[in-house]
Structure 1
Amino acid sequence: MDCQRLERQIAFVREVDKLKTIERQTLLTDASRQENDAEHSWHLALMALVLGEYAGGGNIDLLQVIRMVLVHDLVEIDAGDTYCYDEAGYADKALRETTAADRIFNLLPPDQAADMRALWDEFEASRTPEAKFANALDRLQPLMHNVFTNGLMWKKHGIVGSQVVGRNRKIADGAPDLWTVAREMIEKAMDDGHLAP
């Protein structure tokens, strides 16, 4: 057994436990509280298993999607969660997250650090069918939570329909059928007065 390798792996496992403390601007579907990043990542992984048949790229590697969604928000341990409609927060988001990726993934032994970083980079680039599907799920999940909670967080932040459509139209890149459903949800939310037009 390589004790130094194991020490680095345990240090990483300990560090990423902090993901449970990063609060998101998404309510649980029962609206009882905001979810944390760890819950979000778990939910995306399960969504990938359940909704994989709707991936726009056809026959995709679901394990790769699951690995990406489990890793994609680890950088928020350092960078914090940037609300998806926060234009000012997006100004330095890439720099904050890249710096965080450099530190967090390099806690691991070099081979695993490179693997984790490659997953994060693939998700961020959103070029492969797997990354496009992972990104589609990452947008669909909070959209559904907003719909299921009658738009409470949309109302809190003054979000309007055009912002929601603009932010979420990338769902079509990874899962066209899911974008059709998402559009219907957005339109119903506006019709029901849960999202300002």
Structure 2
Amino acid sequence: MDDDALIIDRQPLPAGIPERLAAQLRFVAEADKLKTVLRASPLAAAERRENDAEHSWHLALMVILLAEYADEPIDVGHAMRLVVIHDLVEIYAGDSPVFVPGADGDQQEREAAAADRLFGLLPPDQAGEMRALWDEFEAGLTPEARFGKAMDRLEPMLLNWLAGGGTWGMPGASEAAVRAREAGVVAASTSLGDVAGLLVDEGLRRGWIRP
């Protein structure tokens, strides 16, 4: 697929759709590309890797189910919006696997440019709203963003556990690197941080993580 071409350009919308709605549908169509962006994390239910759309859905479900364990009160709906939006930029920027050395070298620049391009497809008011949500998640300065980031750390840890190691077997996945991901869970939820710690401790004991 030509990354410079919009999906909608291959089958343009019929004439007569109001301009604002046409822009929104153009964005919705372009978001379909998220389903093609593969992450390093394995699925628990099938012998393949997770894609970004599946990951974002899983995080939204986790926010709904696990919000009671947040150390700070959170607006569940707002946290869901953050986790659904946070990886959309990878449509253009691609995924940056955390355990691949150097993969995140220019990640911030690539993702910021992707945010400008992708959210710019929307009407100006919604473009600003989506960009603000993405910036909020990236900065992690609100309780909802911190909890969303915690889910973004916990979900792949759980998938790794269910897969018997998963990405913990990658060259850059030392104990220190895995513990750094664990710390992102602890930052928003003591209870869930304890669970993450147990997963890592047992993963070490079973030889799934290098000491």
Query: What TM bracket, shorter-length normalisation?
Result: over 0.9
2:100–2:170 Cα contact (<8 Å) kept: no
1:48–1:62 Cα contact (<8 Å) kept: yes
- Offset of residue 100 of structure 1: 0.2
CA distance in 1, matches of 2:154, 2:200: 11
Rg larger for = 2
* Structure 2 spans left out of the alignment, 5+ residues: 1-15
2:164–2:208 Cα contact (<8 Å) kept: yes
Identical aligned pairs, as a percentage?
46
Q: Deviations over 1:16-35 (max 9, x none)?
A: 11000000000001351001
Which residue of 138, 143, 155 corresponds with 2:169? 155
Tell me the residue number matched to 1:83.
97
Tell me the residue number matched to 1:71.
85
Taking the TM superposition and a 5 Å limit, the aligned residue runs for 1:134-173 are: 134-157=148-171, 159-173=173-187
- Structure 2 residue 83 is the aligned partner of structure 1 residue 46: no
Aligned residues: 196
User: Quick check: which one's helix share is greater?
Assistant: 1
Tell me the residue number matched to 1:33.
48
Distance 1:180 1:26, change over 3 A: same
- Offset of residue 2 of structure 1: 7.5
Q: Deviations over 1:75-95 (max 9, x none)?
A: 000000000123412110000
CA distance in 1, matches of 2:172, 2:97: 13
| Alignment RMSD (CA, Å) | 1.4
TM-score by length of 2: 0.89
CA distance in 2, matches of 1:121, 1:179: 24
CA distance in 1, matches of 2:143, 2:86: 16
Segment of structure 1 superposing worse, 151-160 or 125-134: 151-160
2:52–2:87 Cα contact (<8 Å) kept: yes
1:31–1:149 Cα contact (<8 Å) kept: no
Which residue of 4, 22, 26 corresponds with 2:37? 22
TM-score by length of 1: 0.95
Which residue of 183, 192, 196 corresponds with 2:206? 192
Misfit runs of 4+, over 3 Å: none
SS state of the match for residue 137, structure 1?
helix
- Structure 2 residue 22 is the aligned partner of structure 1 residue 3: no
